[in-house]
């Protein structure tokens, strides 16, 4: 199915979303449910999301990501949205962080691609680079490279700075950074989770060919174009 045909559909596309319990993923779920372009939203999550997953459009799969391959047959969608992510502090170790932010996204992408998904969107990070001196940024760079190697028909990589929004968990360092960076140059300013989600959905519907990288300073512009 080519991207032009996809764009003409109404309520016919299927979205696959991972990370809906997080800040950006939760916003993505809202927008996918509201979008007339998507008739079904498959949510892959480690715990029951409650009310947000009760919408008629939504199919919730509560699974162990270590056994994601067991669910391959149901991971069928036109577009995949990956908002998986944690912090080293919350993960408890670098190894566990790498598992959540690198291994899980790539495994999800591999399975969805085998099922003929056409577009993949991922929340990466400002400064992501395989050559970065910072472990966090190297992991983000590695996952970007892994996705590129799969040769997706359409791949969108979003690189936000600090993500702003009301979290269900306490992240004091991120909250402090959010306040400090509000007056920084555009490249470093916090980006609203709602803008990231809106931009992800807008770009997925457009499904530009090859690789599209949306840097932090451009995310709000993409979000506004979807309204």
Strands (E), the chain: 13-18, 38-45, 58-62, 79-82, 119-123, 154-159, 163-164, 191-192, 210-215
Reply yes or no on whether 94 is catalytic: no
Among 119, 91, 89, 118, which Cα is nearest to 104's? 91
CB 60 within 8 A of CB 49: yes
Q: Which residue has the tokens 């993500």?
A: 163
Reply yes or no on whether 104 is catalytic: no
The three-class DSSP label of residue 210 is strand
Q: How far apart are CA 151 and CA 135, in angstroms?
A: 25
Exposure pattern of 186-216 as b/e (b: 16+ CB <10 Å)?
Answer: eebbbbbbbbbbbbbbbbbbbbeeeebebeb
Active-site residue, selected from the candidate residues 38, 102, 104, 140: 140
Q: Which residue has the tokens 């409650």?
A: 50
Q: Residue 106 corresponds to which tokens in the numbers above?
A: 């790539």
C-alpha 87: how far from its chain's center?
Answer: 16
Kindly list the catalytic residues.
136, 140
């Amino acid at each position: 199915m080519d991207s032009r045909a996809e764009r003409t559909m109404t309520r016919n596309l299927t979205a696959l979303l991972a990370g809906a319990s997080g800040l950006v993923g939760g916003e993505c779920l809202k927008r996918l449910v509201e979008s007339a372009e998507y008739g079904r939203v498959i949510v892959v999550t480690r715990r029951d999301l409650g009310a947000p997953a009760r919408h008629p459009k939504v199919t919730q799969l509560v699974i162990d990501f270590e056994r994601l391959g067991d669910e391959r047959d149901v991971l069928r969608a036109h577009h995949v949205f990956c908002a998986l992510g944690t912090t080293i502090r919350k993960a408890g170790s670098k190894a566990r962080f790498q598992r959540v932010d690198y291994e899980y996204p790539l495994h999800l992408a591999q399975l969805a691609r085998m099922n003929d998904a056409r577009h993949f969107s991922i929340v990466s990070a400002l400064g992501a680079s395989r050559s970065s001196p910072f472990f966090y940024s190297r992991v983000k760079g590695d996952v970007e490279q892994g996705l590129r190697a799969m040769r997706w028909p359409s791949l969108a990589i979003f690189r936000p700075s600090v993500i702003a929004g009301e979290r269900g968990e306490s992240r004091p360092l991120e909250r402090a950074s959010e306040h400090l960076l509000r007056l920084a140059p555009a490249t470093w300013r916090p980006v609203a989770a709602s803008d990231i989600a809106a931009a992800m959905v807008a770009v997925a519907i457009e499904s530009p060919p090859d690789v599209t990288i949306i840097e932090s300073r451009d995310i709000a512009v993409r979000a506004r174009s979807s309204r």
